[in-house]
Amino acid sequence: MKPILAIRSAMSHAFDFTGRATRSEFWWFFLFIAILHSVLANYFAAPNPNGFSFHFGIYLSLDINEPWWSNVYAIVFVLPFASALVRRGHDINVHGSKFFIVPFIVFAAFVVIVKALPTQEIFNTFMFVSLLFLFVGFLIVTLKRSDPDTNRFGPNPNEVPS
């Protein structure tokens, strides 16, 4: 799938959590929102003496000190990104709710374990390992090849209909 078509497809299916999304659709859309966020962050942020910096994240903040554009960005892109992620999971025959349940379980375990950690250094190490675990899992799931056949979420989006 070409980049413009992938972005258009992801945005047009923003409220559609059914069906399947190809790897190319998901990753072109992911790259688009990462680049857009970096451009906005560097344009609206205070001048950086080190030059351009890379930013990525979709977060909503009620802090008065946060830039206004980050909330607009979050409101515009959080649902399309979540939809693309869920549909990407459907493409490999994984139910989309697992993308939200697993991080919640890791976070809950993290909170419980953090209370038991004696030092800041151990806390930082544990946090790094937890985030690395989630990141590697995210990559494994989103980079996996599509199911070649029709699965419970629909036909293979890579196949040309006859």
Q: Rounded to an integer, what distance in angstroms lies between the CA atom of residue 64 and that of residue 142?
A: 35
Residue 13 within a domain:
yes
Contact 98, 108 (CB under 8 A): no
In the predicted model, what is the mean pLDDT of residues 125-137? 84
- The label of the residue with tokens 């966020």 reads 37
- The label of the residue with tokens 């003496």 reads 49
Q: What phi and psi values does residue 154 have, to the nearest 5 degrees?
A: 135, -175
The count of C-alpha atoms lying within 13 angstroms of the C-alpha of 138, restricted to the half-sphere facing its C-beta, is: 13
In the predicted model, what is the mean pLDDT of residues 94-100? 84
Q: For position 58, what pLDDT does the model report?
A: 57
Residues 25 and 103 in one domain: no
Q: For position 83, what pLDDT does the model report?
A: 92
Q: For position 46, what pLDDT does the model report?
A: 59
Residue 156 within a domain:
no
In the predicted model, what is the mean pLDDT of residues 93-116? 81
Q: Rounded to an integer, what distance in angstroms lies between the CA atom of residue 66 and that of residue 92?
A: 37
Confidence band, pLDDT 50/70/90 cuts, at residue 21: very high
Chain mean pLDDT for the chain: 81
Residues 7 and 85 in one domain: yes
Q: For position 78, what pLDDT does the model report?
A: 85
Which residue segment(s) compose the domain that 131 sits in? 94-148
Evaluate if residue 127 carries a pLDDT over 60. yes
Reported as a single tens digit per residue, the pLDDT across 26-76 is 999 999 988 887 777 777 665 556 665 555 555 555 666 666 666 777 778
Residues 79 and 120 in one domain: no
pTM of the model: 0.79
Neighbours of 150 (CB within 10 A): 11
Question: Based on the structure, what is the number of domains in the chain?
Answer: 2
Residues 117 and 138 in one domain: yes
